[in-house]
Amino acid sequence: MQNAVQKASRLVASILFPDTCLACRTHVAARGTLCPECWGQIHFIADPICTVTGTPFQHDFGDDMVSAEALANPQPWRRARAAVLHDGIARQLVQRLKYGDQPELAPWMARWMLRAGRLLVEECDVVVPVPLHKRRYLARRYNQSAELARMIAAEGGIAFEPAALVRIRPTRRQVGLTAKQRQANVRGAFRVPPGHEIAVCGRSVLLVDDVYTTGATLGAATRALLRGGAAHVDVLTFSRVVPHFAGVTRRPAAY
8/55 same-domain check: no
3-state helix, strand, coil in the chain (%, to 5): 40, 15, 45
Asked if pLDDT for residue 117 goes beyond 80, the answer is yes
Q: Reduced to 3 states, what is the DSSP secondary structure of residue 121?
A: helix
Determine the longest span between alpha carbons in the chain, in angstroms. 67
Percent of the chain with pLDDT over 90: 52
What is the structure's pLDDT at 12?
Answer: 42
What is the structure's pLDDT at 158?
Answer: 96
13/139 same-domain check: no
What is the structure's pLDDT at 41?
Answer: 83
DSSP 49: B
Could you tell me the pLDDT band of residue 176, with boundaries at 50, 70 and 90?
Answer: low
**Is position 206 within any domain?**
yes
58/163 same-domain check: yes
Which residue, among 185, 91, 195, 109, has the nearest Cα to 146 in the 3D structure?
A: 109
29/144 same-domain check: no
Which residues is 240 bridged to in the sheet? 85, 212
Could you tell me the pLDDT band of residue 8, with boundaries at 50, 70 and 90?
Answer: very low
What is the structure's pLDDT at 14?
Answer: 44
Q: Which amino acid is at 150?
A: R
Could you tell me the pLDDT band of residue 243, with boundaries at 50, 70 and 90?
Answer: confident
63/172 same-domain check: yes
152/87 same-domain check: yes
What is the structure's pLDDT at 168?
Answer: 87
The CATH number of whichever domain residue 125 belongs to comes to: 3.40.50.2020
Structural domain range at position 136: 42-240
| Tally of structural domains, the chain | 2
Q: Which amino acid is at 169?
A: R
Strands 126-129 and 204-212: parallel
Least confident of 9-13, 104-108, 138-142: 9-13
What is the structure's pLDDT at 173?
Answer: 66
**Is position 249 within any domain?**
no
59/4 same-domain check: no
Q: Which residue has the higher pLDDT, 192 or 137?
A: 192
> Which range, 133-142, 144-153, 165-174, is most confident?
144-153
What is the structure's pLDDT at 72?
Answer: 87
24/49 same-domain check: no
Asked if pLDDT for residue 10 goes beyond 50, the answer is no
DSSP 56: B
Task: Quote the mean pLDDT of the chain.
Answer: 84
115/80 same-domain check: yes
**Is position 246 within any domain?**
no
Instruction: Taking residues 197-221, report their average pLDDT.
Output: 95
